[in-house]
């Protein structure tokens, strides 16, 4: 019988030639060969670590992250198994376990994201037998350059993130104070475009030579992306 939907009818005929249908139903046949993925078992476990820390990795912008995983049946490793990797807006890929049931995956440079690792025991399984998630947190990096001019003129400041993917459409705060001041006061908010920002500030009440300090900071609550 070929794979697909079929109508099954069972009829009985006696010696006198009398016939009757005793069973009729729609059935679906599946002749797909189930190819095992590694050595399947009940209760398979998938565990992860990021830079030797379980389930959570913090990395500076512009650096790769090593995610290491283990696939085991109790204490027995599952070698030669394919584990699918997805999430974070990138293309899905897969890694393979070694003889110890371990695999390494280098997370590409980019923004914060959550990755999903899933293992299917057989090639035609719809649902994974084991699944694990890991969150990669990227600490943004920025550069800030200020070009001050004379009193009454404008000072233009420019800045950039560590990579465009690390600071998309974010809103950093800008604050400043004079050298004799004691606190930093926020006076404006900026929106980055492809990780870049620029700002002009006018000095109006500075009759003598004064040194000012400016700071651009991302809010503690985080930003988009």
pLDDT tens for each residue of 81-100: 999 999 865 678 999 999 99
The alpha carbon of 6 is separated from its chain's Cα centroid by a whole number of angstroms, namely 43
| Phi, psi for 19 (deg, rounded to 5) | -125, 145
- For the chain, give the number of residues: 225
Residue 134's DSSP bridge partners are 115
Helix (H, G, I), strand (E, B) or coil at 80: coil
Question: For the chain, what is the largest distance between any 2 Cα atoms, rounded to a whole number of angstroms?
Answer: 122
Tell me the per-residue pLDDT of 148-207, one tens digit each, with 9 for 90 and over.
665 555 566 666 654 433 333 456 666 766 555 556 777 788 877 777 788 887 777 777
pTM value is 0.61
Residue 176: both structure tokens together: 């400043």
């Amino acid at each position: 019988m070929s794979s697909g939907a079929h109508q099954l009818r069972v009829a009985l005929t006696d010696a006198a030639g009398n016939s009757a249908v005793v069973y009729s139903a729609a059935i679906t046949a599946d002749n797909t060969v189930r190819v095992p993925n590694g050595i399947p078992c009940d209760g398979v476990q998938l565990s992860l670590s990021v830079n030797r820390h379980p389930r959570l990795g913090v990395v500076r912008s512009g650096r790769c992250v090593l995610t290491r995983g283990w696939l085991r049946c109790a204490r027995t490793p599952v070698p030669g198994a394919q584990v699918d990797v997805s999430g974070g807006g990138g293309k899905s890929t897969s890694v393979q376990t070694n003889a110890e049931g371990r695999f390494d995956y280098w997370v590409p440079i980019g923004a914060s994201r959550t990755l999903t690792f899933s293992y299917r025991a057989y090639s035609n399984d719809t649902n994974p037998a084991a699944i694990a998630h890991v969150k990669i947190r990227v600490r943004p990096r920025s550069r800030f350059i200020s070009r001050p001019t004379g009193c009454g003129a404008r000072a233009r400041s420019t800045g950039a993130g560590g990579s465009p993917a690390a600071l998309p459409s974010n809103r950093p705060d800008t604050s400043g104070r004079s050298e004799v001041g004691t606190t930093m006061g926020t006076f404006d908010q900026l929106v980055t475009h492809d990780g870049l920002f620029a700002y002009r500030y006018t000095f109006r009440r500075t009759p003598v030579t004064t040194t000012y300090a400016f700071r651009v900071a991302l809010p503690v609550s985080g930003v988009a992306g």
